[in-house]
A and B are shown apart, each in its own frame.
Chain A
C-alpha cells in the first residue's frame, strides 16, 4: 500500500487497523524479501 498506492504509514495503519510500528516492520519484511529476490535474479543473469 505504501509502495503501490503511496499511502502514509498513518493511513495504512488506519486502513488495516494496525499500530504504526507493525506497519513499519511488515514493510521492512516485505521489502527485504523483494530485495532478496531481485538480488538472486540479478546474480542469475550475470
Chain B
C-alpha cells in the first residue's frame, strides 16, 4: 500500500467503514510508515477537537438548509429506502459533495468570525495569564491547600482581597494563590486542581455584581467561565472540560 492510498483509507478507518482486509492492510502500513501514523494521530486529535465544545456549534437553520440544498436530492432524506427520485449523475455528485463540504466549512468557521466584544479581549488575557502560570513554573506564590493560609497572604498586596474557599470535598482542591496581572491590571489568582487539570481563578473588583455564571467562548482549547463572587469579577480558566468547569464556576458563584 502506498501513502496516498493510506491517507484515504484513514478516513474509512476512522469512520468505521473499512472492511477487515483493507483495515489490516492499513494497519500494516501504519506500523511501518511514521508519516502516515503521525497523520493518523493528528486526524484523531482533530476529530476530538471538533467534537469538543470549542468548535462545536449548532448550525443556524438557514445554513443547514443551504447545505442540504447543495446535496444530491437523495441525500436530504436520512434513509436510503426513501430514495425514489432519479439518481444523480456522478458528474453532479462530483460538484455536490465538495459543495456540501464547503458549506460545512462555513458552518464551522463563521461563528468564530463574529466580532468580539470587550469580554472576548478579557478572555484572551485571562487565557494567556493561565498559560503563563503553567509555563513559568510559577503557579503559586503561596502554596497551600488551607484557605486560612491563602486568604491572609493576599491581605495588603492589592487594595482588594479575594474570597478563598477550598472545594476539596467537591473534588476541586485548592492548591494556592498568587498575584498576577490580566491586561494591565493586578489581580488575585487562586489555583485549584481537578485531577491533572489546573484551574486558575482570576479575581478583581467588579463594577457589575449581578453576573451569573456565563460561559465565554473558549480560546485555543481552554474553557473560560465568568461570574461574580462577593463583588469580585471572577474569570475561571482551565483545560478541564466545559461541563466540569461550569460545575466549578457554579460552586464558586453559589458559595461566594
Contacts and interface: CB of A to CB of B under 8 A. Distances in A.
Contacts of B100: 1, 4, 30
Given A8-B17, A16-B88, A31 B97 contact: no
B230 interface: no
Contacts of A14: 74, 80, 83
B87 interface: yes
Interface in B14-68: 15, 17, 43, 46, 55, 64, 67-68
A4 to B, nearest CB: 5
Contact of A24 (B17, B75, B94, B101): B17
B97 A26 contact: yes
Interface in B64-90: 64, 67-68, 71-72, 74-76, 78, 80, 83, 87-90
A5 B98 contact: no
A31 to B, nearest CB: 7
Contacts, number: 101
Nearest to A12: B75
Does more than half of chain B's interface fall in helix, strand or loop, or is it mixed? Answer: helix
A24 B12 contact: yes
Given A4-B64, A17-B93, A25 B8 contact: yes
Given A1-B97, A4-B100, A37 B105 contact: yes
A27 to B, nearest CB: 5
B17 A16 contact: no
Interface of B: 7-12, 15, 17, 43, 46, 55, 64, 67-68, 71-72, 74-76, 78, 80, 83, 87-90, 92-94, 96-98, 100-102, 104-105, 108-109, 112, 220
Interface of A: 1-12, 14-18, 22-31, 33-35, 37-38, 41-42, 45-46
Given A4-B104, A12-B75, A29-B98, 14 more contacts: A5-B75, A9-B17, A15-B74, A15-B83, A15-B88, A16-B92, A16-B97, A17-B89, A17-B90, A18-B90, A24-B8, A27-B15, A34-B105, A46-B220
30 contacts: A1-B72, A1-B97, A2-B15, A4-B67, A4-B68, A6-B78, A10-B80, A12-B75, A14-B80, A15-B72, A15-B88, A16-B90, A16-B97, A17-B88, A18-B90, A22-B90, A24-B8, A24-B11, A26-B98, A27-B11, A27-B97, A28-B8, A29-B98, A30-B98, A30-B101, A31-B101, A37-B109, A38-B46, A38-B55, A41-B109
